[in-house]
Amino acid sequence: MTTLDFSPRPGAAPLPRMVLAQAGAEARAMLRNGEQLLLTMIIPILLLVGFSQAALIDVSGSRIGFVTPGILALAVMSTAFTGQAIATGFERRYGVLKRLGATPLSRTGLLLAKTCAVIAVEIVQVVVIGAVALALGWSPQGDPLWVVLLVLLGTAAFSGLGLLMAGTLRAEATLAGANLVYLLLLGLGGVVFPLTKFPDSVRPVLELLPITALTDGMRSVLENGAGFPTGPVIVLACWTVAGLGLAARTFRWE
């Protein structure tokens, strides 16, 4: 007869198990939060339907083909930057990060868990937004590998900027700043309005924005079937190094 052993087994779980458990909790929290759901799902889908079906913009070719890559880029920004910055800022204010730091989960493990949670939510976003776009007549082109590369680089770049903001500003300032940046980049980053609509004098500056690089890269691959998006990849890589580097040096956990 087998004897069950209920004696305690002290010690931390393996790091991968802790990271997956924390990532699951982070992802569920993002998807259950009404404000986060509005930001990550509802607003992008409304913009997709509105700008692809109504004659609000003048573009050459298919309107749904132009709008969809920009909305996918917006979805990445909304999750990796805006949502993560606001959530992390309030976690820092309420002492959640400090308490998590006292658990066996290391800071590296916590950052890995947050990254995994962001990617998991982005996968859901891409599937939902892509399904809506396909139903509206979207016909994507290009190599999916370049799309994955752009999404990963965009996630890293926006995560660095989000953590930089959340780790240096007060929670209320992060909330206001992240939403303001979201609106500014939505309007100026070529997401739904072509950059050709802006004056020539400011266009070179707008092209260096991370959302513009991600949008242009996604659009060149998915709409035009282009090859490796060299320019957007370089811009996003620079933002990734700068954002994550500054966040690592300045982030305050309390």
Average pLDDT over residues 236-245: 92
6 found inside a domain = no
**If we measure between CA atoms, which residue out of 54, 64, 124, 114 comes closest to residue 89?**
114
Q: Is residue 246 part of a domain?
A: yes
Q: Is residue 44 included in any domain, yes or no?
A: yes
Residue 7 domain flag: no
| Residue 178 to residues 80, 143, 197, Cα–Cα distance (Å) | 11, 32, 25
Measured at the CA of 146, the angle between CA 140 and CA 150, to 5 degrees, comes to: 100
Cα(70)–Cα(76) distance, integer angstroms? 10
- What is the enclosing helix (H) or strand (E) of 220? helix 210-222
Mean pLDDT, the chain, whole residue set: 86
Query: For position 244, what pLDDT does the model report?
Result: 85
Residue carrying structure tokens 């006292």: 102
| Structural domain includes residue 5 | no
Q: Where are the beta strands (DSSP E) in the chain?
A: none
The structure tokens listed for 93 are: 């204010």
Is 148 a domain residue?
Answer: yes
In a domain, 34, yes or no: yes
Rounded Cα distance, 49 and 34, in Å:
21
% of the chain beyond a pLDDT of 70: 93
With CA atoms as reference, report the closest residue to 141 among 215, 67, 224, 63.
224
Which pLDDT tens digit goes with each residue over 13-64? 677 788 788 888 888 888 787 778 888 889 999 999 988 887 777 777 788 9
Is residue 8 over pLDDT 70? no
Q: Which range of residues forms the domain containing residue 181?
A: 15-250
Both structure tokens of 203: 């266009």
pTM, rounded to two decimals:
0.88
- Say yes or no to pLDDT of 1 above 60: no
- Band of residue 11 on the pLDDT scale cut at 50, 70, 90: low
Which amino acid makes up residue 136? L
Q: Which amino acid is at 245?
A: G
In total, how many domains does the chain have? 1
Q: How far apart are CA 134 and CA 75, in angstroms?
A: 17
In the three-class reduction of DSSP (H, G, I as helix; E, B as strand; rest coil), residue 194 is classed as coil
Interval 153-186: pLDDT, tens: 999 999 989 988 988 889 899 999 999 999 999 9
Tell whether 85 is covered by a domain. yes
